[in-house]
Amino acid sequence: ATDADGNTDTSPADYVWIIDLSPPQLSNILSSPGRNSALISWTSSETGIFQVEYGTSTSYGFTSATTSLVNLTISSLSVNNVYHFRLLAQDSAGNATTTIDYSFTTSAQAENVVISEIQISGATANDEFVELYNPTASDINLQGWRLTRKSA
Q: Where are the domains of the chain?
A: 26-105
| Mean pLDDT score, 40-54 | 96
DSSP per residue over 49-93, as a string?
EEEEEEESSTT--EEPPPBSSSEEEE-SPPTT-EEEEEEEEE-TT
Phi, psi of 94 (to 5 degrees): 90, 5
Is pLDDT larger for residue 48 or for residue 137? 48
Contacts of 111 (CB under 8 A, 6+ apart): 140
pLDDT, tens digit, 9 for 90 and up, residues 122-143 = 677 677 777 888 877 777 777 7
- Please check the confidence at residue 118 and state whether its pLDDT lies above 90: no
| Strand pairing report for 82-90 and 102-105 | antiparallel
pLDDT, tens digit, 9 for 90 and up, residues 68-86 = 999 999 999 998 999 999 9
Q: What is the C-alpha to C-alpha distance for residues 113 and 72, in angstroms, rounded to an integer?
A: 33
Comparing CA positions, the residue from 6, 9, 8, 64 lying closest to residue 31 is 64
**Alpha helix (H) ranges present in the chain?**
none
* pLDDT, position 139: 76
The structural architecture, per CATH, of the domain 26-105 is Sandwich (2.60)
* pLDDT, position 97: 97
| Mean pLDDT score, 25-49 | 94
When pLDDT is cut at 50, 70 and 90, the band that residue 63 belongs to is very high
* pLDDT, position 129: 76
Q: Is 62 exposed, middle or buried (0-12, 13-18, 19+ CB in 10 A)?
A: middle
